[in-house]
Every structure is written in structure tokens, then in C-alpha cells.
Amino acid sequence: MPEKRSEQIPESTPEEMSHRKELTALLGTSLADIWESLCAWIEETYDMDRIWGKGGKAWTYEYKYRRGGKTLCALYARENAMGFMVIFGKQEREKFEGMREDFSEKIQKTYDEAETYHDGKWMMFEPVEPEMFEDFRKLLAIKRRGNRKGNRQTAAGR
């Protein structure tokens, strides 16, 4: 069933440019730059649907990367803060556990403290520096192999 509250926005439209201006005003220039860099890397590596939505009670906006009914990750924005969420199912948690020493202490701590629900372990990161990107890349590689031609990425543990 399609999500009623979301809209898909192709890249480089005037509407998306409006979202970028709103994000910069909401996040501030530094976090907006981190948001843009993270989105650019995801879009270079993965061919995914991009869906804007309301951020619920805690966030103003949500920006999901989905394909085939499964979410790769989601970014969240509110005043002067951004979030990056990844949800790991059982197999993904097993892969992470097998390579946890490859991740920074900050990532490991967030993983350990994240709540596990019936549909997986929900990990929310609040990046404030691009140095976390390498860990984010490894987390996403556990979830799904890159599927853009010319940017194939092997999934961790495969």
C-alpha cells in the first residue's frame, strides 16, 4: 500500500531545490552539507526510491531510501539536528556481530544501546561530522549490496 504522507521527488527539480533550501534553514549550513554529502554517496551507490515524509513527533522531515518495499535507511531533520537510521534484522545483526570490531566505538555503543523490536534493531545516529560516513557505508553494505552500475559494492560478510 502506498504511503499517503510521502511524495517521491526526482533529483534536480525546483521542488527538490526548495527542500534543500528548507533543510539548510532548518539544519544549518554545516549539517545540511553533511546531509547532502551522505545523500550523494547513497545515490551514487544505490538505485533506490527516495521518499519525503513527515518526521513524526521527534523530527520535522523524514527522507527514506526504499526499494522493493524494503527500507535501506532513512535520514531525519529537525532544527539544528539530523538523524540517520538503519534497522537491522536478525541476519544483519549476526553479520554486524561478526565484524563489530571494524566499527568505531561510537557505532558499537549506538548498536548496543539500540532497542530491538519484532522487526529488527533500530539504530539512530546523529551525525555531526563526515568522519562517520565510513561506518555508515559499512552498515549499509551489511543491509544491501550497492546496485548502481559501475559502483558495485560487495556486501559485508557475503
Task: Give residue 150's pLDDT.
Answer: 56
Q: How far apart are CA 35 and CA 84, in angstroms?
A: 9
Q: CB–CB of 130/136 below 8 Å?
A: no
Q: Per residue in 72-99, pLDDT tens?
A: 999 999 999 999 999 999 999 999 999 9
Continuous H helices in the chain:
14-27, 29-45, 90-99, 105-113, 133-143
What are the grid coordinates assigned to 105, written together?
Answer: 566505538
pTM beyond 0.75: the answer is yes
Show the low-confidence residues of the chain (pLDDT under 50).
1-14, 152-158
